Amino acid sequence: MIAHDLFEIGVALAVLLALAVPLGAWMAHVYEAPALWGERVLYAAAGVRTDEDMDWKRYAAAVLLFNLVGTLVVYALQRAQGWLPLNPAALGAVTPEVAFNTATSFATNTNWQAYGGETTMSYLTQMLALTVQNFVSAATGMAVLVALVRGFVRRQANGLGSFWVDVTRSVLYILLPLSVLLALALVSQGVVQTFGSYVTAHTLAGADQVIAVGPAASQIAIKQLGTNGGGFFNVNSAHPFENPTALSNFLELEAILLISAALCFSFGKLVGDVRQGRALLGAMLLLLVPLLLLCTAAEQAGNPILSHLGADQAWSTLQPGGNMEGKEARFGIAASTIWAAYTTAASNGSVNAMLDSFTPLGGFVPMWLIQFGEVVFGGVGSGLYGMLVFAVVAVFLAGLMVGRTPEYLGKKIESYEVKMCSLAILVPCASVLVATAVAVLVPAGTATLGNPGPHGFSEILYAYSSSSNNNGSAFGGITVSGPFYTTTQGLTMLIGRYWIIVPVLAMAGSLAKKKYVPPSTGTLPTHTPLFVVLLSATVVLVGALTYVPALCLGPIVEHLQRHGGG
């Protein structure tokens, strides 16, 4: 690793934290402030009461119903797009299995893409189906987080607030303004935003080349800010029309983690103790930074198989210039590895390089970040409530060590909360491993592999890790548009999203009913460096116990093979 890489990493993190502090304060204000006049008009038109206080079951039912309707609408628009306007390329209906996969993908904030955007989706489908879902799926995660926070803050209460109010405020006051600002900045850098037809260019060789364009900037802004990640074009943020300059790359990169990082500061303000939010942010950084450095170092070291004999007749272990395979020359290694770590830490899934071309250790990092459960920043809202699930588990483990009932933010953690946390953590993990096992055993799962051996296994493991944890990125090298992968991945996306949301809301409802317990001499402080380390260790321990055996069959054994280990 060179000094330039460290400088890029340092600047990216410093700018992120500088922007997150004021944004976090603003978002805390948004969820606490009374409804404005324009907001009340929307509620009145929709028949929503601003004073409605849903219990956890009604809140969960509203979440599931809202997402079900969104899924059905996205599916229908894809199937009917051949007869709908704003389709200058005259694209036909999306096949049923891909339409199902895409509808579940965008509703669950996964944005896994089993299609090429410019060759499959019309402008109307991209805007009305996919971009709209980018907003509301992100807002759903933020609303569930706010409900969980109320569970910690409220005392002997039944309600968690109104889902309809929370999701509306998330879109109106946070996601929409930020997306407009980012979209304008991206257009200034050359990102396309047009309803015009595809352009035909005449090449120097005398052939005609069709160049896809479209209303891309508006979708790219929310795909980054909402940790959605679905690209307007097939190669995502490696496409020059999605990400043309170094500045656009930096803006899109910062947008990936911006809201998730800011929500840590919002959490501290909402619970009345800013130290709590800083502790959660510290745990996220403690997990992210070492893995980011490992990924960058692995890519700078390059592929040992490409070692060369130097003038002194000694074999060099470094690939000259590092591993640039699959990376944009205009971005280089550091900008590619920072993006890879950010996008998989944040359940964003957008890419500006081909992860399948990373070295085994370089590819191991984004895969393991996903397998942590997308809690190292994670999706907007979903990452923080996932980290809070681990915080409850960490407090419970600490309580077992000292022999007293654990407490977190003044609420006793009892068997019900631990059971809900266990469901939220273990079921999505099981869906990854079970689906991977099925895929490697049946012909339909292995028939479309692009690589044999450990790397082929890594491609399958990564695909299901990404879908179940609602990330959306892929190693590539595997064709996933057939019925087997579109169906099984659609199911794992649903499990990974809603099997966490429902237990989290159930835990929130239980916590809201509890009395506040003042801290005592036996209470574990949850804002100290000790708790940051304990929380980080809990996340790593669960990830290691769950996935290390599978990782040993994929990237780890591939790394050993490349270094002469067999």
Over residues 108-130, the pLDDT tens digits come to 999 999 999 999 999 999 999 99
Q: How far apart are CA 185 and CA 276, in angstroms?
A: 34
Report the Cα–Cα distance between both ends of the chain, in Å, rounded.
27
Q: CA angle, corner 297, sides to 291 and 300, nearest 5?
A: 145
3-state secondary structure of 307: coil
pLDDT of residue 318: 56
pLDDT of residue 313: 43
SS3 per-residue string spanning 418-444? HHHHHHHHHHHHHHHHHHHHHHHHCHH
Q: Which two tokens stand for residue 524?
A: 């574990």
pLDDT of residue 303: 76
- By the 8 A CB rule, do 310 and 399 touch? no
Phi-psi region of 197 (alpha: psi -120 to 50; beta: other; left: phi over 0): beta
3-state secondary structure of 268: helix
Torsion on CA atoms 472, 475, 477, 478, rounded to nearest 10: -40
In 3D, which of 155, 149, 113, 119 has the Cα closest to residue 134?
Answer: 113
Domains of the chain by residue range? 20-271
Q: Is the dihedral of CA 507, 342, 281, 263 positive or negative?
A: negative
Q: How far apart are CA 362 and CA 80, in angstroms?
A: 41
pTM score: 0.94
User: pLDDT, tens digit, for every residue of 61-85?
Assistant: 999 999 999 999 999 999 999 999 9
Q: How far apart are CA 31 and CA 529, in angstroms?
A: 29
Q: How far apart are CA 226 and CA 430, in angstroms?
A: 26
* Max CA separation in the chain (angstroms): 80
In 3D, which of 26, 474, 14, 5 has the Cα closest to residue 236?
Answer: 474
Q: How far apart are CA 377 and CA 362, in angstroms?
A: 20
- By the 8 A CB rule, do 389 and 421 touch? yes
Q: How far apart are CA 229 and CA 472, in angstroms?
A: 7
pLDDT of residue 309: 43
List, for the chain, all residue ranges whose pLDDT scores fall below the cut of 70.
1, 306-320, 564-566
